[in-house]
């Protein structure tokens, strides 16, 4: 599934980004972090988070790709690392459903920029998301395809911005139940996808034999 970009279509790449960097995992944490701020402050934090997250994701991907080549790190090793992190986070999402209670809402820093940084890392820009982007770019041997991948990243970040701006409305009424179900499904699929990524990485490293 994830060996090279040539085997992963553009729709698959967008789906991968949506799962790893998309809005479904942002709405709840963002609403909890901003539960005491007014709408104007919320919009400011959301816009700053969008800008910081977009720049950080693009720079992280490009710098990671450069270091990947300079340090001669095999792509399967990076893929395995991202898969393991993705698995741990996915398991946490699944197990959270069985916790008796949630921790009290965290307090945001008073500075809007510091608050945006608090939301960005690691809620929006996830380590496994950056790992996936680095692998996608590293396996893209076409400039046009690389630009398409970066354009998709921008599209996902715009969806994140909309999710943050409308987080309070999305968590109200029946939509909250829908998001709860989607979150549960996403957690299970994330674990399954992580296992798939790990198997692909092990196969590429020669630890497993492809059938």
pLDDT digits (tens, 9 = 90+) for 79-124: 788 788 888 887 877 777 666 555 555 677 778 899 899 999 888 9
Q: What pLDDT is stored for residue 63 in this prediction?
A: 94
Q: What is the largest CA-CA distance in the chain?
A: 57
Q: Are 161 and 60 in contact (CB under 8 A)?
A: no
132 in any annotated domain: yes
209 in any annotated domain: no
For residue 19 the two structure tokens come to: 């799962």
Q: Indicate the length of the chain as a whole number.
A: 211
Q: What's the rounded Cα separation, in Å, for the pair 3 and 24?
A: 26
Nearest to 139 by CA among 14, 8, 11, 4: 4
Range of the domain at 17: 5-204
| Average pLDDT value for residue range 22-38 | 87
Beta-carbon contacts of 45 under 8 Å, excluding residues fewer than 6 positions away, are: 34, 37, 108, 112, 115, 116, 119, 164
Cα–chain center distance at 207: 28
| Residue 58 confidence (pLDDT) above 50 | yes
Most confident option among 2-6, 173-177, 201-205: 201-205
Specify the number of domains making up the chain.
1
74 in any annotated domain: yes
Q: What pLDDT is stored for residue 40 in this prediction?
A: 93
Q: How far is CA 57 from CA 15, 66, 130, 164, in A?
A: 17, 14, 7, 18
147 in any annotated domain: yes
Confidence of residue 210 (pLDDT cuts 50, 70, 90): low
210 in any annotated domain: no
Confidence of residue 50 (pLDDT cuts 50, 70, 90): very high
Q: Are 135 and 67 in contact (CB under 8 A)?
A: no
For residue 92 the two structure tokens come to: 């946490």
For residue 68 the two structure tokens come to: 């990947």
Q: What is the pTM of this model?
A: 0.82
Most confident option among 42-46, 101-105, 184-188: 42-46
Q: What pLDDT is stored for residue 4 in this prediction?
A: 42
Q: What pLDDT is stored for residue 6 in this prediction?
A: 43
211 in any annotated domain: no
| Residue 145 confidence (pLDDT) above 80 | yes
Q: Are 5 and 145 in contact (CB under 8 A)?
A: yes
Q: What's the rounded Cα separation, in Å, for the pair 93 and 194?
A: 13
79 in any annotated domain: yes
Burial of residue 116 (CB within 10 Å: 0-12, 13-18, 19+) is: buried
31 in any annotated domain: yes
Q: What pLDDT is stored for residue 8 in this prediction?
A: 59
HSE-up (13 A, CA, CB side) for residue 6: 3
For residue 61 the two structure tokens come to: 């991907």
Position with higher pLDDT, 75 vs 57: 57
Percentages (nearest 5) of helix, strand, coil residues in the chain = 75, 0, 25
């Amino acid at each position: 599934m994830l060996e090279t970009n040539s085997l992963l279509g553009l729709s698959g790449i967008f789906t991968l980004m949506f799962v790893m960097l998309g809005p479904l995992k942002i709405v709840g944490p963002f609403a909890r972090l901003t539960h005491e701020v007014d709408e104007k402050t919320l919009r400011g934090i959301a816009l700053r988070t969008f800008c910081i997250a977009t720049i950080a994701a693009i720079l992280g991907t490009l710098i990671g790709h450069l270091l990947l080549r300079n340090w001669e790190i095999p792509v399967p090793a990076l893929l395995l690392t991202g898969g393991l992190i993705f698995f741990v986070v996915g398991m946490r999402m699944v197990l959270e459903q069985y916790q008796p209670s949630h921790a009290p809402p965290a307090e945001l820093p008073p500075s809007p920029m510091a608050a945006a940084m608090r939301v960005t890392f690691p809620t929006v820009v996830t380590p496994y998301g950056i790992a996936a982007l680095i692998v996608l770019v590293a396996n893209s041997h076409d400039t046009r395809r690389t630009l398409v991948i970066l354009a998709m990243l921008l599209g996902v970040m715009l969806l994140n911005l909309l999710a943050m701006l409308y987080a309070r409305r999305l968590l109200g009424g029946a939509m909250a139940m829908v998001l709860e179900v989607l979150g549960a499904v996403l957690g299970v699929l994330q674990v399954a996808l992580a296992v798939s990524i790990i198997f692909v990485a092990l196969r590429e490293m020669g630890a497993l034999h492809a059938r």
